[in-house]
A = this chain, B = another copy of it.
C-alpha cells in the first residue's frame, strides 16, 4: 500500500544543530524535553532545481557530519524524478550485473534475454546464471501468464449483517454504474469485477482492474475512490463508515488472498530438465531434487510459509531494482508455489507459479535513466511490454530455484559462498 497525505511542508521539523559524532541530528535534551527539530530544506517552487538539491546535500552533511560524496554522483537531471520522490538529494548506486542469456519460450517473450540484476549479495548473479544455463540446455523456460489484475479493497460498515448483505446485492445490481464511475478516472484502467466478502456488519469490496502496462496501484486507488464516492451517495442512509482500504487488497503483504486470487500478474514458468544436464552441469540426480521438494514442502507447511519454494525474492528484488519496479512489492511478489515431478523417463519437470507479481514497463520508476536502459536491454521499455517482462521475471525466478536446489542437494552451497561471497 502506498503513502498518503496533503502535507504542505516536506520536512518533519524546525531548527537545527550539527552532531557529526553519533550522527543524530540532535542529541537528547538535558531537560528531557523534545528539542525543536531541524527541517530538511525544500523549495515551494521547484523542489528539484539544482540549488535546492545542493542545499539539501549541504544540510544533510552539516547536520550529520556525513559526507555525501557518492550520493550526489547521479548522471541525470533531478527533475526527471518528479513524481518518483520528494526531497530528491542524490542516488543510491546499486551494483548491476548481467546473467544469461536466458532462453524464454513465452507468448510475449520469445528468444534469449540478457538479465540485469541489481544486487549487493555475492553469488546471486553467478547462481542465477548457472540455473539459466541449465534451462537453456533443456530448451529454455516456458512462461505463461494466467491472470492480470490490480486491486483495491474498500470496506463499508453498516448497522447489521443483514444490511451488509443487502448492500452486496445492491453492488451486484449496480455494477454498470460502479464501472462507469471508476473508469471515468482513467484512460487505461478497466474494471473487470468486484468481489464482495462479508463478515460481521461489514462488506469488504475487492475491486479488480486491468491496468495496461502500469503496475496500477495508484490508478486503481483513484478509480476505486471515485466509484466509492458514487456508491456512498447512493447508500448514504445505510453506510455508517467507509474506508478506502481494509487489508483485503492485499497490497505489500503476503497473503492467502493473493495466492488464491492473484494480484498483479499470475505467471507460471516451467521446464522439463534433462537428467543428463542435471548430472553434468549441476552434479545432482533428479531424484534428490524431487526428494528435497517433498521434505521442504513439509517443512514449509509446518512453518506456515507463503512460498513452498526456495528464494524467489532474490530474483524479484534484483530485477525490480534494476528496472524501476516498486521494490516494496517484493513483500507479496515473493509468494510462490513450486511443483516438480519425475517424468516417466526419469527427467525432472519443474514449475513455479508466482501469484502476485506486480510489474510495469510504463509509469512509476520505469522511466528513470538507468532503469529505462535495463528495460531496453530486455526489449521491455514502454507500451505493450508488461506481459513480456512478467514472463522473463518468472523465468529468472525458476533459474534460481534450480540452481539453489541443486546446490543444496549436491552440498555445494557453502563452498560456492566461500568462493564468491563477502560474508565471513
List the B residue with the shortest CB-CB distance to A64: B377
> A321-B92, A423-B217 known; A254 and B331 CB under 8 Å?
yes
Chain B residue nearest to A97 in the complex (CB): B87
* In the complex, chain A residues 388-424 whose Cβ is within 8 Å of any chain B Cβ: 400, 403-404, 406-424
The answer to whether B374 and A71 have CB atoms under 8 Å apart is yes
Among candidates B3, B37, B186, residue contacting A123 with C-beta atoms closer than 8 Å: B3
- In contact, B161 and A201 (Cβ under 8 angstroms): no
Give the shortest distance, in Å, between A285 (CB) and chain B (any CB). Answer: 12
Contact A81 B69 (CB under 8 A): no
- Is the beta-carbon distance between B407 and A128 smaller than 8 angstroms? no
Residues of B within 8 A of A9 (CB): 129, 133
Looking at A65, A318, A321, A322, which has the most chain B CB atoms within 10 Å of its CB? A321
Given contacts A2-B314, A123-B5, A330-B330, contact A95 B102 (CB under 8 A): no
Contact B121–A413 (Cβ < 8 Å): no
Partner of A114, one of B35, B40, B147, B218: B40
Is the CB–CB distance between A121 and B12 below 8 Å? no
A225–B414 Cα distance when bound, in Å, is 7
A208 at the interface (CB under 8 A from B): no
* Chain A residues bordering chain B, tally (CB within 8 A): 224
Chain B residues within an 8 Å CB radius of A248: 299-300, 302-303
Which chain B residues lie closer than 8 Å to A86 at the CB level? 97, 122-126, 129, 420
Minimal beta-carbon separation of A25 from chain B (angstroms): 4
A sample of 21 inter-chain contacts (CB < 8 A) reads A2-B121, A2-B314, A3-B314, A5-B403, A24-B110, A34-B140, A40-B114, A70-B373, A84-B122, A86-B125, A86-B420, A88-B95, A144-B165, A161-B268, A214-B423, A244-B411, A246-B299, A260-B303, A291-B341, A363-B424, A364-B423
CB-contacts of A182-198 with B (<8 A): 186-188, 197-198
Given contacts A12-B99, A19-B111, A93-B93, 7 further A-B contacts (CB under 8 A): A9-B129, A70-B75, A188-B424, A214-B424, A252-B312, A254-B305, A313-B329
Contacts of A40 in B (CB 8 A): 98-101, 114, 129
Between A96, A164, A253, A317, the greatest number of chain B beta carbons within 10 A of the residue's beta carbon is seen for: A253
Residues of B within 8 A of A74 (CB): 73, 93
State A186–B337 Cα separation when bound (angstroms): 35
Contact A133 B165 (CB under 8 A): no
Say how many copies of this protein the assembly contains.
Answer: 4
B292 with A246: CB separation less than 8 A? yes
Interface residue? A250 (CB, 8 A): yes
**Pair A202/B34 contact, Cβ less than 8 Å:** no
A120 closest partner in B (C-beta) = B365
The answer to whether A243 touches B408 (Cβ under 8 A) is: yes
Cβ of A27 within 8 Å of any chain B Cβ, yes or no, is: yes
Residues of chain A in range 136-175 having any CB-CB distance to chain B below 8 Å: 136-137, 139-140, 142, 144, 146-147, 153, 155, 157, 160-162, 164-165
Instruction: Looking at the assembled complex, report how far the CB atom of A385 sits from the nearest CB atom of chain B, in whole angstroms.
Output: 9
Could you tell me if A379 and B22 are in contact, using CB atoms closer than 8 angstroms?
Answer: yes
Task: Specify which of B111, B241, B266, B310 is in contact with A22 (CB 8 Å cutoff).
Answer: B111
Which chain B positions have C-beta within 8 A of A296?
Answer: 155, 243, 245-247
- Using Cβ atoms and an 8 Å threshold, which residues of chain B touch A321? 92, 94, 321, 327
Contact of A4 among B70, B127, B246, B326 (CB under 8 A): B127
